[in-house]
Structure 1
């Protein structure tokens, strides 16, 4: 049985990693080597793709943090959760929803991401 709350928390921790060494370690712990990530803004694969995607988010939104928004729901080998991105302690201007599919070891093998709230340009 998977602890979906712990998996979502580890996912958010990896996405909040601003240092390359820490990010590499967390991505390796949380995601399978052949992970596939797709959302409306990107499609990347593998640890390198995820690491670059996270680094790009921090470059685009310096100082902002990812947080879980609401409960985590899961069954079998998949989970879904909402997340926010914004200044720490403030209402997040970006909100999304991710569905993750796990491998047999409980690591994330696939991410299907959706953007629910994005500020206008």
Structure 2
């Protein structure tokens, strides 16, 4: 092996990922996306597939419009190995019980998100 695979900082990556989903200001959200995702990143969940930063930003903006009173937060501690982080998350009113829970599999490339596969339970 060439020194071993990159192991991402799961906590830091999860915080940055959730910050993208929670940012309500479009310009700040776009800056977060540009700083975290690769140019050719892909996001896929049961409802949507998005390719590229612009399309991913649009998915985040749509979630903000559909769920304006909910925030994304971790549901447990993320863990990772070999360029991959597993993040359990939930959407809830600030301080309230979860309305939607899910799992995100974050695949990194040089510390940035290259692919994200999302799972929802229940699917809204």
Q: TM-score surpassing 0.5?
A: yes
2:119 maps to 1:114: yes
Greater Rg over alpha carbons, structure: 2
What TM-score, normalized to structure 1?
0.93
What is the CA–CA distance in structure 2 between the aligned matches of 1:2 and 1:101, rounded to whole Å? 9
Q: What are the within-5 Å matches in structure 2 for residues 72-83 of structure 1?
A: 72-83=78-89
2:13 maps to 1:7: yes
Report runs of 4+ in structure 1 exceeding 6 Å deviation.
none
What is the CA–CA distance in structure 2 between the aligned matches of 1:80 and 1:2, rounded to whole Å? 11
Give the number of the structure whose residues are more often strand, by fraction.
Answer: 1
2:38 maps to 1:53: no
Contact 1:93 1:118 in 2 (8 A): no
- Provide structure 2 residue ranges, at least 5 long, that are not aligned to the other structure: 1-6
What is the CA–CA distance in structure 2 between the aligned matches of 1:9 and 1:117, rounded to whole Å? 23
What TM-score, normalized to structure 2?
0.91
How many corresponding residue pairs? 118
Shift of 1:28: 0.7
What is the CA–CA distance in structure 2 between the aligned matches of 1:24 and 1:6, rounded to whole Å? 19
Give SS of 2:78's match: strand
Per the alignment, residue 4 of structure 2 pairs with: none
What is the CA RMSD across the aligned residues, in angstroms?
1.1
CA deviation string 1:65-91 (max 9, x = no partner): 100110111101001011111211011
